Amino acid sequence: MDIYFILGKLILIVIIFAISLLTAMYSTYGERKIAGFFQDRLGPDRAGPWGILQPLADGGKLFFKEEILPVNANMALFIAGPSLSMLTACMSTAIIPWGTYLDIFGTKFVLQVADVNIGLLYIFGVVSLGVYGVMIGGWASNNKYSLLGAVRAASQNISYELAMGLSVIALIMLNGSLSLAEISRNQGESLFGLSGLNWNIFYQPLGFLIFIVCAFAECNRTPFDLPECETELVGGYHTEYSSMKLGFYLFAEYINMFVSSAFMAVLYFGGYNYPGINFVEANLGHNAAVIIGLAALFAKILFFIFFFMWVRWTVPRFRYDQLMKLGWQILIPLAIFNILLTGVGIMLFDN
Amino acid sequence: MQSLSNRSKQVSQKEMTFMESIYLPAIIGGLMITIRHFFAKKITIRYPEIKKLFSKNWRGVHVLKKDEQGRERCTACGLCALSCPAEAITMEAAERKKGEENLYREEKYAARYEINMLRCIFCGLCEEACPKEAIFLTNEELAPSRMDRGELIFGKDKLVEKQHDPDNKKRGGGPLEERLFHSKENSSYKSTFEGISNS
Ligand code: SF4
Ligand code: SF4
């Protein structure tokens, strides 16, 4: 391990960290702007041109708000809650492959912080840690609404994690690997005579459907935003939170949205691959192809973030029993059926 | 009961068919509806730059009119103050001196004339009561908002009409349209407004 390797990784970590924070920041702006557009309004447009400084104003406001610590709250846990949420949200970006490698003066610069060979397991490990942030925060608040919100969040996340895991198993069977770099590479092969279009979505449409529904539930987004359902639970698990601690919870939610969009793009929509990648590589060189791939990956991620918001302003919230029924009685059997189907498919076509 | 809007629907408790119970067609249909709104024309009026056109008889901030020769019409008879249900108007009368004939039309005039905008309910009764057609409620300005109560007691400096325009009964001058749409973004708003008023 030479010094350049470590330095390169450090730079990459800082860049990815900055990008995911920036994306999350602008998701809050995007959310408000897009909500406005869906409701025939213009959305925020006063802070800076088209309102692009709005996230700064929002963040500044949150920092200067009074920090209220409830008297009977468990202080250590009350502070640990949002920190844990934020931490786990940021951790999962580490294994996203942003591209193969850049060739800088003969040195290979791999565009992935860590190519863990159990990448998918790592995601599930980190994502299921995220629920502790919510759970601890809700419990430490010493408020029944917070506690109810936290219990809802925990049971919802656990229920949907199962279906999500099962839907991904079919994907692993297809790719024969848990490593995200490997899965991305497999999707770079050609399909219909176009290179870089061998995307998993063409083999796993049902799996993707299950995955995206579960991703909505894991991110606590509408139609599954029951943990913070205002009509029943005041503010849900963050009822007692104020100032930047509240900001952390909300921010973690947006980072989660960014991360799950990234995983949807990487797992099912080809990651950094795009149609005609070989043609670009042959004509414009390796680095250009990688950079266009990075842009393609970002376009896919932004589309999914948009899709999250689009669904938010379309589908009303589920009732809690409907949510549980959907998770346990529909998605899990469907995911198992999908595994079966994939197995049969592999048997028939691979021989 | 007969429906008034012709849009009432009978509630049906039928079992959902298979296609309905998987929700997806309905969700996709819903997504298509919302995306249409995403690209639809926005009805937001960007307020300080573009002001909404008030109706002709909108009752806004008052103006004290001058006559054709630029003389103040008010004779401080006090009828407006008397008729005011909110008791918002106070005034002090004074006698016109020699050489002031070009300033005041009547022999008695209002030396001090104040309307408390915090009390006023913009009912327009002062306008109706005035025998000299001196006070009017304009259809251009809303009651302003200020940080200080004192600033909301409008004296003659704020109330008396600035320019003299015999054709225009209201404050200011020039055709109404021109004064309303003074922003460069006015065209889009104008068509939106016409769309609303036509429908
Ligand atoms: S508009 Fe009505 S309330 Fe206002 S000053 Fe005139 S009479 Fe009084
Ligand atoms: S505004 Fe009219 S009603 Fe009021 S004091 Fe003057 S002349 Fe009389």
- DSSP state at residue B55: P
Largest Cα–Cα separation, chain A: 67
B132: CA distance to ligand 1 center in Å? 16
Residue A317 pLDDT: 83
Compute the nearest-CA separation of B121 from chain A (Å).
31
Whether this model's ipTM surpasses 0.85 comes out as no
Residue B165 pLDDT: 52
Compute the nearest-CA separation of A261 from chain B (Å).
18
CB of residue B120 inside a 6 A radius of ligand 1: yes
Per-residue pLDDT tens for B48-93?
777 777 777 788 888 888 888 888 888 989 999 999 999 999 999 9
Amino acid at A26: Y
Distance CA A172, CA A149 (A): 34
Distance CA A260, CA A265 (A): 9
Per-residue pLDDT tens for A36-67?
898 888 888 888 788 888 888 888 888 888 88
Chain B interface test: which of A45, A315, A325, A329 (most B C-beta within 10 Å): A315
Distance CA B101, CA B144 (A): 33
Q: Is B45 on the interface with A (CB under 8 A)?
A: no
pLDDT of A84 > 80? The answer is: yes
Q: Looking at residues B136-161, what average pLDDT do you find?
A: 82
CB-based contact A310 B46, cutoff 8 Å: no
Residue whose Cα lies nearest atom 8 of ligand 2: it is B77
Q: Looking at residues A151-164, what average pLDDT do you find?
A: 86
Residue in chain A closest to B32 (alpha carbons) equals A314
B72: CA distance to ligand 1 center in Å? 20
Q: List, as own/partner pairs, every contact residues B84-93 make where C-beta atoms lie below 8 angstroms and the sequence separation is at least 24, other chains included.
A: B84/B120, B84/B125, B84/B126, B85/B121, B85/B123, B85/B125, B86/B119, B86/B120, B86/B121, B86/B123, B87/B119, B88/B115, B88/B116, B88/B117, B88/B119, B88/B120, B88/B121, B89/B113, B89/B114, B89/B115, B89/B116, B89/B126, B90/B114, B90/B116
CB-based contact A40 B43, cutoff 8 Å: yes
CB-based contact A310 B31, cutoff 8 Å: yes
Residue A351 pLDDT: 59
- Report pTM: 0.75
Per-residue pLDDT tens for A12-22?
888 888 888 88
Q: What is the number of CB-based contacts under 8 A between chain A and chain B? A: 36
Residue B173 pLDDT: 40
Model confidence at B1, pLDDT cuts 50, 70, 90, reads: low
b/e sequence A67-91, b meaning 16+ C-beta within 10 Å: eeebeebeeebbbbbbebbbbbbbb
Amino acid at B150: G
Q: Please give the residue range of the domain that contains residue A75.
A: 3-350
Model confidence at A199, pLDDT cuts 50, 70, 90, reads: confident
Tokens representing B53?
């056109």
Q: Looking at residues A217-244, what average pLDDT do you find?
A: 78
Per-residue pLDDT tens for A264-316?
888 888 888 888 777 777 777 778 888 888 888 889 999 999 999 898 888 88
Tokens representing B120?
């006023």
State phi, psi for A37 to the nearest 5 degrees. Answer: -65, -40
Tokens representing A199?
């995307």
Q: Is B34 on the interface with A (CB under 8 A)?
A: yes
Q: At what angle do helices A205-218 and A243-267 cross, to 10 degrees?
A: 170
Percentage of residues of chain A with pLDDT beyond 90: 3
Tokens representing A293?
């791939």
CB-based contact B31 A45, cutoff 8 Å: no
Distance CA A11, CA A69 (A): 37
Q: How many CB atoms lie within 10 A of CB A112?
A: 22
Q: How many CA atoms are closer than 13 Å to the CA of B94, on its beta-carbon side?
A: 11
The C-alpha torsion from B87 through B93 and B99 to B104, rounded to 10°, is 30
CB-based contact B40 A311, cutoff 8 Å: no
Q: Is A4 on the interface with B (CB under 8 A)?
A: no
Per-residue pLDDT tens for A96-141?
888 777 777 777 777 777 777 888 888 888 888 888 888 888 888 8
pLDDT of B189 > 60? The answer is: no
Q: Looking at residues A320-337, what average pLDDT do you find?
A: 87
CB of residue B122 inside a 6 A radius of ligand 1: yes
Q: How many CB atoms lie within 10 A of CB B133?
A: 12
Distance CA A229, CA A233 (A): 6
Q: Which domains does chain B have, with CATH numbers?
A: 61-190 (3.30.70.3270)
- Angle at the Cα of B118 from the Cα atoms of B116 and B120, rounded to 5 degrees: 70
**Most confidently modeled range among A85-99, A103-117, A180-194:** A85-99
Amino acid at A191: L
Q: How many domains does chain A have?
A: 1
Compute the nearest-CA separation of A81 from chain B (Å).
35
Residue B191 pLDDT: 43
Distance CA A182, CA A162 (A): 24
Residue B84 pLDDT: 92
pLDDT of B181 > 70? The answer is: no
Q: Looking at residues A187-191, what average pLDDT do you find?
A: 76
CB-based contact B37 A38, cutoff 8 Å: yes
Q: Looking at residues B131-137, what average pLDDT do you find?
A: 88
